[in-house]
Structure formats: C-alpha cells, structure tokens
Amino acid sequence: MTGSMDDMTALRAALTAAEARARAAETRATDAEARAVSAEAQIAHLKHLIARMRQDRFGASSERGRRLLDQLELELEELETTQAEDASENAADLAVRATAPRNNRGRQPLPADLPRERMVLPAPTQCPCCGGMRLSKLGESITETLEVIPRQFKVIQTVREKFTCRDCESITQPPAPFYPISRGRAGPELLAGILCDKYLQHLPLNRQSDAFAREGIDLDTSTLADWVGACTATLAPLNALIRVHVLAAGRLHADDTTVPVLAKGRTRTGRLWNYVRDDHPFGGTAPPAVWFRYSRDRKGEHPVDHLSGWTGIVQSDAYAGYNALAKPGRQPAPVVSAGCWAHGRRGLFKIAEKDKAPLAIEAVRRIDAIFEAECVINGTPDQHRLAVRQESSALMVADLFMWMRDTCQRMSSKNPIAQAMNYFLRRPDMFTRFLHDGRICLTNNAAERALRGIALGRKAWLFAGSDRGGERAAAMYSLIVTARLNLVDPKAWLADVLARINDMPNPRLHELLPWHWKTLHHSNNTIKA
C-alpha cells in the first residue's frame, strides 16, 4: 500500500512538472511569436522607409539622405541577422517563423546561367523497412546551395618561336604583341580589377596589396601604383574622346565636391569638378557621359578654364564661380545659367521638417506641385516639355514667386524662412528659364548623382596622395562613371579596352567608348550564341 502511495505521489509530481514545462514552453512560444511578429513589423517598416527614400528624388540634401539611408539599411541588416540567429538557436522560433505572415518576395531561384555541380548522395542498397534489395529509382529531390570559388591566379606565357631559314640563314620571329603595360607583367583582367577596386570600390592600394599577400601573391603597393599610373596614361585617349563628346552638348550639368589632398605635414582640400551630358530627360538620343577635372582649390577660374571655348546651357547650384561664364562679352558667347530647384527646396524643407513652420511647409507644398507636373513630361521631346510647362507650370511658378515676395515683405530679412526664399528671389531668371527652353531640367541631380561615389569613397581612401593623384582620380572617374551611366560593367569594359587599345588605330578608338563597346559587345555575343 505504501508503495502504491509513493507511486501516486511520484506520478502527481511528474504530472505537475510536465504541466509546468508545458506552460513554460507555451510561454516561450508565445514570447517567440511576439518577438517574431514584432521583428517582422519592424523589418517591413524599415523596408518601406528605405524604398521611399530610394524613390524620393526631391527630399532632403543628398549627403544627409545618404547617411540616413545607410543607417536604416544597417538597422535592417541587424534586425534580419538577429531574427535568423534566434531562429537557428530556438526550434520553436523556427516553427513560429514558418507560420508567421511574410511580406517579402520569398526565396528567389538562383541565377540559371551559373554553372551547376551535381553532388549525388549515396543511394541506399536495401529497403530500410523490409530489408529488400529490389530498389527502383522513383525520382530525386534537388536542393541548390550558392557557393563561391576563391579567385584563381595564373601565369600566361606568350611564346614567340624563332625560325631560321635553311636557304638564306636569316632568323624570323613573330613580333611581340602590345601589352597594357610594358613587358606584360600584369594582364588586363588583373589591371581592371585593381582599377575598379581602387576607384569603384574605394579600396586603397595598400589594402589591395595586403589582400593579394593573403592569397599568396606578393605585389607591393609601389608596384600597384606603377600599374595604375601606366593604365591612366594608356587610357588617356579615351578620356580625351569623352571630353569632346561631353563638350559637344548644348546643355551641361555642373557640380563639384571636396577631395582631401595630402600635403607637407597636413591635409588640404582640393576639388573634383564634373560636367555631365545627359540628353535623355528631353528625349535626346546622345549617350550620357561625364567629364571630371581636378583643381587645388575652388576658385572661379577653374570652371572658366574647363569650359573655355564652349557655350550653351549650364545647370548648377548658386556657386558664384560659374557667374563669369555668363558675363556679356565672353567668347564665343555667354553661357545660359539655369538654377536647381532641388537646391532651393532643400533649405525650406529643412525648416519645415525641423521646426514645422507653416510658411516653410506651404512653400515646400507649392514647389512639390511643380515637381509633380514635371515628372509627367520627363523623357519627352523638348517641344512637348515646353508646351506643357507653358500651359501648367508657368502659372504655378508665377504664383509661387508672387507669394514668396509678399511673404518676405512681412518678415525680417534675417528670418531663416526669408533667407531660404531669397535663394529663389535673388535670381528669378535662373529658376524660370526652364519655362522657356524644353531642354532645361528642373534640378541639377544628374551632376550630384555622378559625384555620389566620390562622397562615399572619401571615408575609405581618406585623401589623394598629391595633385597628380587627384588628376588621375579625375581621369579614372570619367571612365568608370561614364561606363555606369551607359549601363556597362566598368570592370569588363576596362579589361577589354586595356587588352585592345594599344592595337587599335587612332581613327577607330571611338569604338572603345562605353556606348559603342556595349553595342558591339552585344552584337558579338548574339553572333556567338
């Protein structure tokens, strides 16, 4: 009897413990579900914000917007990583995640053009149920895993055989081919990779040298620097052709950004200027291109020198250095200056966002209405753009300027809102020229986009080593950014150009420009297929 009571007591204790464990597991599952749902909501919210920021063309300043976008993407990365880590550590979380609603696109198939390697697991030799040996294949299940193969280095030996003539005893040998750099020490693919890592991925040469060393290849920083300098000289003719193409445009976007330059015992600030040709907004068929120049300072003499002999429309911010280009008597003719509405809107938007000032909010609302009208006609011929602007935008612009003048008359000139409005009112002709020429854009965003990579790269490469380094950077950015504007892979293009440019006669060098190269490359691939 005593043994039965002890068994009953033990059973009750075990049941109580099991119920406690069940309640604890249920609590953990509930908490895991709540965390998963909360994380999903946060991830969806961050993805929505990031998508809006990427689509917002007329928001806050580009520098501030990029910092905020970087921060949001980092936060999203941390959330998704944490969620995956929790799911791996807790099977209950994994079950919750499997049943929780997902707002993403789900797992996408791996690219079909990647090579496949089949790893077939050993098949059973007998049935695990009955031990029978008569197994017949019914089908197969395939799970695909993406894998990476470390880059491989190889040495290409170019052999030139010598022959002697048994009749005249003369010696013949095929001529040496042209190499991207002297003596063919580095191949075009390697050189293109170094250039793109330095100027596209913003990886300084000393870090590249360390990466090569970890892979068993001894390449000093000085060697890499010699190769970069040699490639810059080799590619100089293409830079000259891009300059000619850019300056053949009737309208240019112009902008500049700072470049820290190493000097004796200190770092001084140089400038990179860019001039962008992009005719697509008004239906032009000429390919886009950008030409960069370097200078030691920001004096107005530099854009005057860069655009010497050129005339047309210059779209820029309100930097006074461009004013000399528009002076009467300039030869061959004064340029026409067009203002950037995005720059003007920026000051008002900051006040509206920070202080919630009603006047600033109203100004931003009115400017945004002009932008919305412009979005409809982007990419259409200039005549159509001009007609629509005269019909719809002209009245909005006139009302906006009249309202700004009346508003500023009732405020102190030191009021931040009045100062932001005066950005427009001090130069109304620059901001209204788009109403009289369909080629003019509303903003100077094309030039700002071309400078974006440099602004990001400054954090990585810190400074240019010298003025010559700044000039090399300008030359390489002209090539790389132009390739990207034409939707061409800069690395593939540079590798092919470096392999062919020394064999290419001067009258045919234009075939190597990104837009021509893209067409010929596509045609050759079509023929091979």
User: Which tens digits make up the pLDDT trace of 248-273?
Assistant: 999 999 999 988 877 666 677 889 99
pLDDT range class, residue 135, cuts 50, 70, 90? confident
Is there a cis peptide before residue 122, judged by omega within 30 degrees of 0?
no
Strand 313-315 relative to strand 336-338: parallel, antiparallel, unpaired? parallel
Report pLDDT for 107.
67
Q: Is the pLDDT of residue 88 over 60?
A: no
Q: What is the pLDDT of residues 286-318, one digit of tens each?
A: 999 999 999 999 999 999 999 999 999 999 988
Higher pLDDT, 496 or 14: 496
- Report the pLDDT averaged over residues 471-483: 94
Q: Is the pLDDT of residue 102 over 60?
A: no
**Which of 114-128, 135-149, 388-402, 452-466 is most confident?**
388-402
Report pLDDT for 283.
92
pLDDT range class, residue 4, cuts 50, 70, 90? low
- Report the pLDDT averaged over residues 464-475: 83
Q: Is the pLDDT of residue 105 over 70?
A: no
Report pLDDT for 60.
41
The residue behind tokens 């941390």 is 78
How many CB atoms neighbour CB 397 within 10 A? 21
pLDDT range class, residue 343, cuts 50, 70, 90? very high
Least confident of 44-58, 395-409, 432-446: 44-58
CA dihedral sign of residues 317, 318, 324, 330: positive
The torsion angle over the Cα atoms of residues 381, 384, 390 and 396, rounded to 10 degrees, is: -70
Tokens of 270: 């140089």
Distance between CA atoms of residues 350 and 515, nearest Å: 39
Q: Is the pLDDT of residue 143 over 90?
A: no
Closest CA relative to residue 341, chosen from 435, 431, 404: 431
Instruction: Tell me if residue 319 falls in helix, strand or coil.
Output: coil
Looking at the chain, the whole-number percentage of residues with pLDDT higher than 70 is 81
pLDDT range class, residue 139, cuts 50, 70, 90? confident
Q: What is the pLDDT of residues 367-392, one digit of tens each?
A: 999 999 999 999 999 999 999 999 99
DSSP single-letter state for residue 464: B
Report pLDDT for 265.
64
Q: Is the pLDDT of residue 112 over 70?
A: yes
Higher pLDDT, 235 or 11: 235
Instruction: Tell me if residue 136 falls in helix, strand or coil.
Output: coil
Least confident of 259-263, 289-293, 412-416, 524-528: 524-528
The residue behind tokens 């920070």 is 354
Q: Is the pLDDT of residue 528 over 50?
A: no
Q: Is the pLDDT of residue 65 over 60?
A: no
Least confident of 380-389, 438-447, 517-526: 517-526
Report pLDDT for 91.
46
Least confident of 61-65, 75-79, 85-89: 61-65
- Report the pLDDT averaged over residues 275-293: 95
Q: Is the pLDDT of residue 471 over 70?
A: yes
- Report the pLDDT averaged over residues 483-489: 96
Report pLDDT for 336.
95
Q: What is the pLDDT of residues 181-201, one digit of tens each?
A: 876 689 999 999 999 999 998
- Report the pLDDT averaged over residues 74-88: 60
Report pLDDT for 131.
85
pLDDT range class, residue 10, cuts 50, 70, 90? confident
pTM of this structure: 0.76
- When the pLDDT of each residue in the chain is averaged and rounded to a whole number, the result is 84
Closest CA relative to residue 97, chosen from 5, 169, 32: 32
Q: Is the pLDDT of residue 490 over 50?
A: yes
Report pLDDT for 156.
87
Kindly give, in sequence order, each residue whose CB lies less than 8 Å from that of residue 517, ignoring residues fewer than 6 positions away: 488, 493, 496, 497, 511
Q: Is the pLDDT of residue 80 over 80?
A: no
Distance between CA atoms of residues 418 and 351, nearest Å: 11
Report pLDDT for 67.
58
Higher pLDDT, 32 or 505: 505
